[in-house]
Homo-oligomer: A and B are copies of this chain.
Amino acid sequence: MKNYSFIISLCFLLVSSTLISQNTSEDSLMLRKIFTKALTEGKSYDWLDYLSNQIGSRLSGSLEAENAVKYTEEELKQLGVDKVWLQPVMVPKWTRGFKEYAYIETLSGETTVTDICALGGSVPTPNLGIKAEVVEVKGLEDLAMLGKDKIEGKIVFFNRPMDASLISTFEAYGGAVDQRSRGAAEASKYGAVGVLVRSMNLRLDDFPHAGAMNYGDTPTNQRIPAASISTNGAEYLSNLLSLQPNLKFYYKLNCKTFDDVQSYNVIGEITGSEQPDKYIVVGGHLDSWDLGDGSHDDGAGCVQSMEVLRILKEIGYKPKHTLRVVLFMNEENGLRGGLKYAEEAKRKNEKHLLALESDAGGFTPRGFSFESNAATLAQVRSWAPLFKPYNIHLFEKGHGGADIGPLAENAEVLAGLRPDSQRYFDYHHAANDTFDAVNKRELELGAASMASLVYLFDKYGTK
């Protein structure tokens, strides 16, 4: 008996290790196919060219956002996937209006025009603009220290730079962005008449970077206008302030908030062959800020997500689960698309195996971050050797993505593509986030990485 069981164990071991190595070799061939398709017959770059150069920036509620909905819906239909539809969602509409204008006025009356932009969601200045003295701070915590005495009637200038010593620029962003998002709400408590925020940019240049701010529970009549100033502008202003603490800053913002308007998430799907009622979602957000053309943020993520479906379809892979691409509307200033998709998934009880978002730029992919249990993360790490030929090496616990966040209770795994982050904040929300800042191969490698992860999850499920 002992001998038998030994032989049986041995056979089992042989069979299972053969199966594993067969699978591994099948998988590695599949990844090779995916990457070759993306790099030699890719479509993502052409799609991005159209989105960026023919349509342009796509702020929620804008004509361009609607054009982008129509364009991507049509392109998904052209792919011949099983189903393409628009998911209605009401979105905020905030517009910049005429370009902002600002200058520094020294004590001798000289003025120097400086580059600013209104922050998303800001109220406008009065028609004649605001001119006031400036008080420079390094963060929200400085406000209480200075107190109402030193702040009332002034413009608060938040000038804490992103921390250049951090390797992840997203971490550096996370450490500075409270100035942008909550600066106006906090400064108004001390009687400030406006805020000026150093752009979330590690580089010194002349581009003011947009981005969302919110007033929290500040009463409507106490809301003060908020603008972003370029990093060069911030350095210049700070230097001048050290010489002339009583200089004045003038700015005029023409922004306006309208009633919500109708918009859509764009969705396409390939029906699953074995578990059609279990979903894998890949997505990015179709809206962008209104400066530049939103090529990295997040045109790249949209076309990469579309490319995942196209590649898998063209190489003849039949997903077991229903594979969806979702182009979310309104990530930048409301997240309404992400919330709506999650709400509908809950209502229809649509269970998701995986939701994967690309919203960190179209740069060389380094790996993925996961919101999952430990067993699934271990499983993903067991796939690392498959990704090694493509220099994909990061498989970490971490944030999936803003749009897929609300889906958490109906998804086993949330994941985010992690491209190299060094250049991202050079372009983020600024006028230079344009098509020429995207490298074709880097974009394509991201799409291929996403398609590969989707393939592996579809094939093996979660642990």
Residues of chain A whose beta carbon lies under 8 Å from any beta carbon of chain B: 35-36, 39-40, 164-165, 167, 169, 202-203, 364, 366, 389-391, 393-394, 420, 422-423, 426, 439-442, 445
Contacts and interface: CB of A to CB of B under 8 A. Distances in A.
Contacts of A390: 167
Contacts of A420: 364, 391, 420
A389 to B, nearest CB: 6
Given A35-B167, A36-B165, A164-B39, A422 B394 contact: no
A423 B439 contact: yes
B445 A422 contact: yes
Contact of A389 (B35, B167, B389, B445): B167
A391 B366 contact: yes
Given A35-B167, A203-B440, A391-B394, 17 more contacts: A35-B165, A39-B164, A39-B165, A40-B165, A167-B390, A167-B445, A202-B441, A364-B364, A364-B420, A364-B422, A391-B420, A393-B393, A420-B420, A422-B441, A422-B442, A422-B445, A423-B439
Contacts of A439: 422-423, 426
29 contacts: A35-B165, A35-B167, A39-B164, A39-B165, A40-B164, A40-B165, A167-B389, A167-B390, A167-B391, A167-B445, A169-B441, A202-B441, A364-B364, A364-B420, A364-B422, A366-B391, A391-B393, A391-B394, A391-B420, A393-B393, A420-B420, A422-B439, A422-B441, A422-B442, A422-B445, A423-B439, A423-B441, A423-B442, A426-B439
A161 to B, nearest CB: 10
A363 to B, nearest CB: 9
Contacts of A391: 167, 366, 393-394, 420
Contacts of A36: 165
A229 to B, nearest CB: 20
Nearest to A163: B40
A195 B374 CA distance: 60
A441 B164 contact: yes
A150 to B, nearest CB: 30
Contacts of A35: 165, 167
Contacts of A202: 441
Contacts of A366: 391
A394 B389 CA distance: 11
Closest A-B pairs by Cβ, 8 of them: A36-B165, A393-B393, A422-B441, A39-B164, A422-B442, A364-B420, A40-B164, A40-B165
**Residue in A39, A389, A390 with the greatest tally of chain B CB atoms within 10 Å:** A39
Contacts of A40: 164-165
Nearest to A443: B422
Nearest to A390: B167
A42 to B, nearest CB: 9
Contacts of A393: 391, 393
Contacts of A364: 364, 420, 422
**Residue in A364, A394, A441 with the greatest tally of chain B CB atoms within 10 Å:** A441
A426 B423 CA distance: 17
A39 B440 CA distance: 28
Contacts of A39: 164-165
A423 B362 CA distance: 13
A204 to B, nearest CB: 9
A231 to B, nearest CB: 12
A203 B442 CA distance: 12
A452 to B, nearest CB: 13
